[in-house]
């Protein structure tokens, strides 16, 4: 799920990709269909959308929904995509990390660190070439792109649960786990700063903006956290009837995508209680 202008782009398990107007909730268009495998990740880079699928394909679409290029890497499902400048960083279901240039997608540099699926990958916008990967092997890895190769700087010891989601701030790396915890690490992954239990269920989504974190889990619980008195504190919780699969920020609003396909938006302000605005 991603936002392009005032449009929300969402991929579904049957391979369909749709565009919705965020303000009206109306369907703008359905993209040209390239395959029928689940859509696992979508990332806008410049004037294109890069889409990863369960078949392991990386597809490049124009913003109007036409397929431009498609590549099959044979490294397992393409779980997650992030980008910096003209490079695409990829986390595979096999545990491998990949990097390709947007100009030459058929040539990919591979990094190895994880034993199981890479659930999330985030570029550090404060440190050029640096990025982090979180895996089902209960570890998070710190990488640096050395242009000719992907250098593994550090990987954590195995934790108690799979590492599902990553947020990279100016000060720390925050990780959501399969046991409903948020863990905080320093940027070099040399030490764990804190552990905060939010739920008994896996965290499925996390977003961060201006000192506020919002998380969601498989039971549909959404938690708002703020940094007060030198620690993260939960200031608000709300519950959805369905497993929340994704969260996205749009201006001052939080867009919520549920497993059953429902799309809602609410205020991102943790102290503002607003009624859901159903988009789909």
| pLDDT score at 240 | 78
DSSP line for the chain? -EEETTEEEEE-TTS-EEEEETTT--EEEEPPP--SSPEEEEEEETTEEEEEETTSEEEEEETTS-EEEEEE--SS-EEEEEEETTEEEEEETTSEEEEEETTEEEEEEEEE--SS-EEEEEE-TTSTTEEEEEETTS-EEEEEE-SSSEEEEEEPPP-SS-EEEEEE-SS-EEEEETTSEEEEE-TTSSSEEEEEE--SS-EEEEEEETTEEEEEETT-EEEEEEEETTEEEEEEEEE-SS-EEEEEEETTEEEEEETTS-EEEEE--TT-----EE--
| pLDDT score at 121 | 95
Report the alpha-carbon distance of residue 267 to residue 275 in Å, rounded.
9
Please return the burial class of 140, using the count of CB atoms within 10 Å of its CB with bins 0-12, 13-18 and 19+: buried
Q: Which of 75, 93, 84, 13 lies closest to 50, judged by CA? A: 84
**Mapping DSSP to helix (H, G, I), strand (E, B) and coil, where does residue 117 land?**
coil
Report the alpha-carbon distance of residue 1 to residue 43 in Å, rounded.
8
Q: Which of 99, 100, 111 lies closest to 141, judged by CA? A: 111
| pLDDT score at 275 | 55
Q: Which of 85, 131, 136 lies closest to 111, judged by CA? A: 131
Report the alpha-carbon distance of residue 95 to residue 134 in Å, rounded.
10
Report the alpha-carbon distance of residue 155 to residue 139 in Å, rounded.
7
| pLDDT score at 187 | 95
| pLDDT score at 274 | 59
Per residue of the chain (280 residues), what is the pLDDT tens digit? 898 888 999 998 888 999 988 888 888 899 988 888 989 999 998 899 999 999 988 999 999 999 999 988 888 888 888 888 788 999 999 999 999 888 888 888 999 999 999 999 999 988 989 999 999 999 999 999 987 789 999 999 888 889 999 999 999 999 999 999 999 999 999 999 999 999 889 999 999 998 999 999 999 899 999 988 788 999 999 887 678 889 999 888 999 988 777 788 888 998 876 555 655 5
CA end-to-end span of the chain? 14
Report the alpha-carbon distance of residue 262 to residue 241 in Å, rounded.
10
CB atoms within 10 A of CB 185: 21
């Amino acid at each position: 799920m991603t936002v392009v202008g005032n449009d929300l782009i969402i991929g579904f398990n049957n391979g369909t990709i749709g565009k919705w107007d965020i303000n009206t909730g109306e369907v703008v268009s359905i993209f040209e269909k390239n395959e029928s495998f689940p859509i696992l990740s979508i990332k806008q880079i410049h004037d294109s959308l890069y889409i990863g699928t369960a078949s392991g394909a990386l597809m490049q679409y124009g913003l109007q929904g036409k397929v431009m290029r498609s590549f099959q890497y044979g490294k397992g499902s393409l779980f997650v995509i992030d980008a910096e400048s003209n490079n695409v960083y990829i986390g595979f279901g096999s545990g491998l990390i990949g990097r390709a240039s947007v100009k030459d997608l058929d040539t990919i540099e591979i990094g190895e660190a994880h034993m199981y699926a890479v659930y999330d990958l985030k570029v550090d916008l404060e440190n050029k070439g640096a990025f982090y990967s979180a895996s089902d092997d209960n570890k998070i890895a710190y990488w640096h792109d050395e242009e000719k190769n992907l250098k593994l700087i550090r990987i954590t010891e195995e934790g108690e649960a799979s590492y599902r989601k990553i947020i990279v701030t100016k000060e720390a790396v925050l990780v959501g786990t399969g046991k409903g915890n948020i863990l905080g690490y320093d940027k070099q992954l040399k030490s764990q700063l804190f552990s905060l239990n939010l739920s008994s269920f896996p965290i499925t989504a996390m977003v961060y903006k201006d000192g506020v974190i919002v998380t969601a889990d498989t039971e549909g619980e959404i938690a708002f956290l703020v940094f007060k008195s030198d620690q993260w504190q939960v200031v608000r919780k709300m519950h959805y009837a369905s497993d929340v699969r994704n969260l996205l920020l749009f201006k001052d609003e939080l867009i919520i995508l549920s497993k059953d396909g429902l799309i809602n938006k609410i205020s991102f302000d943790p102290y503002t209680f607003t009624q859901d605005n159903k988009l789909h």
